[in-house]
Structure 1
Amino acid sequence: MLTLQAPFYRAVNDEVEVFHAAARRGAPVLLKGPTGCGKTRFVEAMAHELGRDLITVAGHEDMTSADLVGRFLLKGGETVWVDGPLTRAVREGAIFYLDEVVEARQDTTVVIHPLADHRRELPVDRLGITLPAAEGFQLVISYNPGYQSVLKSLKESTRQRFIAIELGFPPPDVEREVVAREAGVDPSTADILVRLANTIRNLDGSPLREVASTRMLILTAGLVAEGLNLRSAVQAAMVLVLSDDADVVRALGELVDAVLPRA
């Protein structure tokens, strides 16, 4: 749903212009980028700018088409139809955001195909109807290319229906601004955290599946804003989150010692 306060998003390239152009055409958008780089916040900001409601669903391996479209349920002894989130968005002209689409089963994501091409319609087989998308409806999906595998990849028949926007971690000056504003910390604290994150991201032969994300930095800075000392905040919200391997945790601790100012 729309919020009164505009979500803070700092553009890095031309992603805002691309999204607005796609929205004017009703074209679906595919967001690509690593975990925690701001994909969800970007969609929230775009929905607010466009004055549209936003319905968000997180993809998962147990998701069925009924979870998106709807199903019959028993209510008060009667069987009634209940729209799923995708159907609500189609009827209401909202932006529908399917986060981490590759986590959902491929036979489930096929249901979005008629909405992602010239037809802009949603077949609701259980009702025997086809719903045309209301004015303002837009389909947005996202995924993390780093998690792609043979079993979890986006089908070409799906990809080629979308306008793609690639998001990444912002440059240091932008990331410092984001961390300071979102967490309510001073610029010097934000600067230290951003330098630490970039050191982790640039490690050669890193054993980490994921690196320190912007979201992780905001969480860490939030602990500092609550009065926790910087070193403890980094340990709790970054080091221990990034790995369970004792050797990796120890190595990250040494890296932290090299970057953080000494008490």
Structure 2
Amino acid sequence: MNNVGPAAETRSRPPFYRPTGDEVKVFHAAARRGLPVLIKGPTGCGKTRFVEAMAHELGRELITVAGHEDMTSADLVGRFLLKGAETVWVDGPLTRAVRQGAIFYLDEVVEARQDTTVVIHPIADHRRELPVDRLGTTLSAAPGFQLVISYNPGYQSVLKNLKESTRQRFVAITLDFPPAVTETEVVAREADVDIEIADALVTLGNAIRHLDASPLREVSSTRMLILAGGLVAGGLSLRSAVQSAVVEVLSDDPDVIRALGELVDAVLPTR
């Protein structure tokens, strides 16, 4: 019996990505030269999906790690672990990517401590080498290895910033929310809703993004609109879906939630 259901079919499909500029050409050119890539853009604009699509197009394995403040260099490079009565070395995700010639994607790099991210310096420049101090060796990157990092510039601060010595090793690509026509296509496809529903969600998303003197720390991302569309595809009304996937997610302040609700009522079609 074939157990391939809808979920498995979804996983097997190529990642869906619609270019909005020359980002695909830049990435491919960098990949041909083994150059590291820095991707900048707001939360939920498609940075991770872009990297997934590029890995698929290039036929490379993709190893992804989310940066966080407790991350250590050992989390990336590897460590000795007890297995039974033996102590064995276990490669970290960066080391595996270096050995295998995979694409290593460190998402939200500024969330990791700066003393951790410096471990990527020798693998990000002309040396293409990864020192593994605990093994007393240095690994040369296998053919096909590429380092990709990303972050949201809106989160930068004195305490969370990317060092110039790190930035200058990378080719930079800036992504943003796509134009309305493209975003509508993305939402319709990813959420499995009709164009009219997708268009209404994108219209609302853009209305929230362009609020004057907005009290919101974040705006409605493409990811949020897809989630709202998914709720509609699951049987929820458009208004209820937006309330759960957009309004309640953007703020905990009752006054802000009420104001967003009024905006939603003014923008969404009455049906």
TM-score tier, shorter chain, comes to over 0.9
Partner SS for 1:232: helix
1:203 and 2:206 are equivalent in the alignment: no
Report the equivalent of 2:182.
174
Q: How does 1:67-106 map to 2 (within 5 A)?
A: 67-106=75-114
Q: Which of 61, 82, 89 is the equivalent residue of 1:53?
A: 61
Task: State the alpha-carbon separation in 2 of the partners of residues 150 and 207 from structure 1.
Answer: 22
Report the equivalent of 2:242.
234
Q: Which of 45, 48, 68 is the equivalent residue of 1:40?
A: 48
Between the aligned residues of both structures, percent identity stands at 82
Q: Which of 209, 224, 248 is the equivalent residue of 1:216?
A: 224
**Structure 1 residue 97 displacement after superposition:** 0.1
Report the equivalent of 2:25.
17
After superposition, the CA RMSD in angstroms is 0.6
**Structure 1 residue 262 displacement after superposition:** 1.8
Report the equivalent of 1:192.
200
Cα deviation code 1:42-96 (max 9, x no counterpart): 0000000000000000000000000000000000110000000000000000000
Task: State the alpha-carbon separation in 2 of the partners of residues 240 and 6 from structure 1.
Answer: 32
**Structure 1 residue 5 displacement after superposition:** 2.2
**Structure 1 residue 4 displacement after superposition:** 3.9
Greater shift, 3-12 or 151-160, is seen at 3-12
Report the equivalent of 1:258.
266
Task: State the alpha-carbon separation in 2 of the partners of residues 5 and 203 from structure 1.
Answer: 36
Cα deviation code 1:207-231 (max 9, x no counterpart): 1010000000000000000110000
Partner SS for 2:135: coil
1:118 and 2:118 are equivalent in the alignment: no
Task: State the alpha-carbon separation in 1 of the partners of residues 69 and 86 from structure 2.
Answer: 30
Task: State the alpha-carbon separation in 1 of the partners of residues 270 and 170 from structure 2.
Answer: 49
Unpaired runs of 5+ residues, structure 1, are none
Task: State the alpha-carbon separation in 1 of the partners of residues 12 and 245 from structure 2.
Answer: 30
Partner SS for 1:261: coil
Task: State the alpha-carbon separation in 2 of the partners of residues 129 and 4 from structure 1.
Answer: 38
Task: State the alpha-carbon separation in 2 of the partners of residues 25 and 34 from structure 1.
Answer: 27
Cα deviation code 1:90-129 (max 9, x no counterpart): 0000000000000000000000000110000000000000
Cα deviation code 1:149-177 (max 9, x no counterpart): 00000000000000000000000000000
Partner SS for 2:125: coil
